[in-house]
Chains A and B, each alone.
Chain A
Amino acid sequence: MTAPASLVDRHVGFVHALREAGLPVSPAEGLDAAHALMVIDLAERETLREAYAATLVKRPAHRPGFDLLFDLWFPPVTGPAASTDVPDDAALPELRERLAELLMGDPADPTFREFARAMVGRFGQVQAAPGRQSWFSFPVLRALSPETLVARMLAAMLDERGGLPEKVARRHISRTIEAFTEAVASDVRRRIAEESGVEKIARSTVRPPIDRVDFLRATKEELARLRREVYPLARRLATRLSIRQKRGRRGRLDFRRTVRASLSTGGVPLTTHLRPPRPHRPELVVLCDASDSVSTFSHFTLLLTFALREQFTKVRAFAFVDTVDEITDLFAPGADVLDAIGRLTDEADIVRFGRTDYGHVFERFAERFPDAVGPRTSLLILGDARSNYQVPALGTLKRLAGQARHAYWLNPEPRAQWDTGDSLATAYGSVVPMHECRNVAQLAAFVETLA
């Protein structure tokens, strides 16, 4: 059985596009996918999508990009939009009525997508330049403005407003509105691809997978998704640490258990029993830059600190801008993380003039918390090393790093920008090893080397 040539071309082009978008698809996996194509019903589009996903996408973070490209390479068959139950010449109020109905239902319903498609056909075309037509989702959403339907839908769904039922209903509506927006966007992409070629649009639409999103440039929504990555990361770090320790010390021989076990083998000690090794849990001191320029980064690393608390015997956290204060208390066990970060700026004494001053911070830290860093602590400094041209206090940092068991510095700036302007990256990096840490992937890579 051989596949038709056009299908092979499509397959090769698709795999190529995935690689270009940053998905590590090996030749072996490409072959697996081709094998899969031989055993499934190619007319079933969703089956085809899942078959590709099962063979090529091995990380959830890559799935959104994959879906985008799949929609472009294997667009749904669209005949005339005969299947929608709205007449072509329906007036706007009628369309909005229908949209409200759909938004209250199940977004997986096929009529949902067909409606979106019909609406793009009707409103989505814009004269881009004289004689050139192009497609946009904005005019579609503006014409139908689903957000203004919310009040009406809530009234239809609820007997009375307020409380939990409203929360639940609102969540449902925002989910379906999101699905509608996405359906419109995906149809717009398809139409553009039909006009100007798949490769061209593919390159411009695929966002990097979430673990490559830059901390300093993350959108609010991406930040929420990033937060979900933190706990698994902290757990991974913990397993990582405990594995290493087990390698080092296997534990002493448990003589009694070994002798007892030898009774069943006539006194020959065949299996030796060892005492379980005493777990050694390191202490961690985190010094975190909380100034505005790195606020998304520090927000994120504070979450990591919080998650790490459970894994280390002792975690002390300090935040600083131009002076430093201990914030361990804000992160007491059972505390609410988001609350704590909100309270941080209000309660902690970290701002004098509002400009980051690393030198002053290190001096004050050594002075106010002389016992924080000891031979069992790992010192973790998080910040961009931009000191507003103040005195760097390298000697103090050297002493602190010398007292600690390990010291690391995570810098959220791209390596290319280090040492530009007021950055003291190399100077500090020569005292404390500095790692570029701009996204979850790099943070995870750092975690692998830690301990």
Chain B
Amino acid sequence: MWFASPDEVRGRLAAVDYLADDGIATSVFLAGALGKPLLAEGPAGVGKTQLAKAVARATGARLIRLQCYEGLDEARALYEWNYKKQLLRIQADDGAWDDIFSEEFLLERPLLRAIRSEEPTVLLIDETDKADVEVEGLLLEILSDYQITIPELGTITAARRPYVVLTSNATRELSEALKRRCLYLHLGYPTPERERDILLAQIPGLPASIADQLARTVATLRGLELKKSPSIAETVDWAHTLLALGRTELDEALIGATLGVVLKHNSDQVRAAKELGLPSRS
């Protein structure tokens, strides 16, 4: 049992500085209570990976992370045989052919490690959409039955179901089969009120008035049609920048001078400067 209620989720995540809204609290609770993987989808930098880390920290569980990328295969996601060790064993002892496929020569990769873990574990499968379609097939067996089949050793069933969080930036549509097995949480940009609270929780010592102004300004920026909208992480960076500059008042000149912290495309900066009437920098 991971959490007793959505309210408990909220409280315990807040204790590790992660502010959960209704949607987050409820789906995090349900993922634990129903024993289903949680798929968190949304734009970059809204706290999907942070959520998995926060769950691990809040529950004292071990975090195992599988970072997906193009070309990720079984050997790097599940398990691999230690060829070198096997080869040396055969060279040292001619009769060793029978026992080179045993526990001793097995190299655990994140998925197998999470399945075999005896202690409470949070398994984070990060950026699932970056992996090839075949990897999704691999995940299906693990996520629905929590077991892995290794031909030479047999089927390994989870000693203890890990808490699974998958993240995706939605660059590719994940398969229906995978989505069906998961609870779905869409993490979007927060409301200015929530973003202000996030800023205050993440940066102790930030004056509330600045946090409020920052959150509203960023919301205004997101309202423009930009190539890349500022993420929460970038808003936090912006607040750090202002603190480092020792400024306590947010004015147009300051915003214009530090816009590069949140907008990373030249065309976006020009557009923002034009629409918001900031002093031009070009």
Residues of A bordering B, CB below 8 Å: 24, 26, 28-29, 32, 35-36, 39-41, 44, 46-47, 49-51, 53-55, 57-58, 60, 63, 106, 108, 163-164, 167-168, 171-172, 175, 224, 227-228, 231-232, 235-236, 239-240, 242-243, 246, 264-266, 268, 270-271, 334-338, 444
Contact A54 B185 (CB under 8 A): yes
The answer to whether residues A40 and B186 also contact, given A224-B225, A231-B227, A266-B87 and a CB cut-off of 8 A, is no
Instruction: Tell whether B11 is near chain A: CB-to-CB under 8 Å.
Output: no
Chain B residue at minimum C-beta to C-beta distance from A233: B171
Contact B33 A54 (CB under 8 A): no
Partner pick for B186 among A55, A60, A240, A271, CB 8 A cutoff: A60
Instruction: Tell whether B192 is near chain A: CB-to-CB under 8 Å.
Output: yes
Q: Which residues 173-223 of B have a CB within 8 angstroms of A?
A: 173, 176, 179-180, 182-186, 188, 191-193, 213, 216-217, 219-220, 223
Chain B residue at minimum C-beta to C-beta distance from A60: B186
Q: Sort chain B's interface into a size bin.
A: 35 or more
Q: Which residues 229-282 of B have a CB within 8 angstroms of A?
A: 252, 255, 265-267, 270-271, 275-278
The CA of A246 and the CA of B70, in the complex, are separated in Å by: 10
Partner pick for B172 among A53, A164, A239, CB 8 A cutoff: A239
- Which residues from B are CB-within-8-Å of A336? 267, 270-271
- Which residues from B are CB-within-8-Å of A39? 30, 33-34
Instruction: Tell whether B147 is near chain A: CB-to-CB under 8 Å.
Output: no
- Which residues from B are CB-within-8-Å of A264? 84
Q: A46-B26, A51-B27, A171-B219 are in contact. List 9 more A-B contacts (CB 8 A).
A: A36-B33, A54-B26, A54-B27, A164-B277, A172-B216, A175-B219, A242-B70, A266-B87, A336-B270
Contact A41 B5 (CB under 8 A): yes
The answer to whether residues A47 and B6 also contact, given A55-B183, A224-B225 and a CB cut-off of 8 A, is yes
Residues of B bordering A, CB below 8 Å: 5-6, 22-23, 25-27, 29-30, 33-34, 36, 39, 41, 70, 83-84, 87-88, 91, 132-133, 170-173, 176, 179-180, 182-186, 188, 191-193, 213, 216-217, 219-220, 223, 225, 227, 252, 255, 265-267, 270-271, 275-278
Whole-angstrom distance between the Cβ of B70 and the nearest chain A Cβ: 8
Whole-angstrom distance between the Cβ of B149 and the nearest chain A Cβ: 23
The answer to whether residues A164 and B217 also contact, given A58-B184, A264-B84, A338-B225 and a CB cut-off of 8 A, is yes
Chain A residue at minimum C-beta to C-beta distance from B267: A334
Contact B173 A236 (CB under 8 A): yes
Partner pick for B22 among A26, A36, A46, A224, CB 8 A cutoff: A46
Whole-angstrom distance between the Cβ of B196 and the nearest chain A Cβ: 10
The answer to whether residues A227 and B183 also contact, given A54-B30, A232-B170, A232-B171 and a CB cut-off of 8 A, is no
Chain B residue at minimum C-beta to C-beta distance from A228: B225
Whole-angstrom distance between the Cβ of B235 and the nearest chain A Cβ: 14
The CA of A44 and the CA of B26, in the complex, are separated in Å by: 11
The CA of A53 and the CA of B26, in the complex, are separated in Å by: 10
Contact A50 B22 (CB under 8 A): yes
- Which residues from A are CB-within-8-Å of B88? 266
A-B residue pairs in contact (CB < 8 Å), sample of 30: A36-B33, A39-B33, A39-B34, A46-B22, A46-B26, A47-B25, A50-B23, A50-B26, A50-B27, A51-B26, A51-B30, A53-B27, A54-B26, A54-B183, A58-B39, A58-B184, A60-B41, A164-B217, A164-B277, A167-B220, A167-B276, A175-B219, A227-B225, A239-B172, A265-B84, A265-B87, A266-B91, A270-B87, A271-B83, A338-B225
- Which residues from B are CB-within-8-Å of A270? 83-84, 87
- Which residues from B are CB-within-8-Å of A40? 5-6, 26, 29-30
Contact B30 A63 (CB under 8 A): no
Chain A residue at minimum C-beta to C-beta distance from B188: A60
The CA of A163 and the CA of B33, in the complex, are separated in Å by: 50
Chain A residue at minimum C-beta to C-beta distance from B182: A58
Contact B83 A265 (CB under 8 A): yes
The answer to whether residues A47 and B216 also contact, given A58-B184, A60-B188, A231-B227 and a CB cut-off of 8 A, is no
Chain B residue at minimum C-beta to C-beta distance from A174: B223
Partner pick for B34 among A36, A175, A444, CB 8 A cutoff: A36
- Which residues from A are CB-within-8-Å of B70? 242-243, 246
- Which residues from B are CB-within-8-Å of A239? 171-172
- Which residues from A are CB-within-8-Å of B185? 54
Contact B220 A53 (CB under 8 A): no
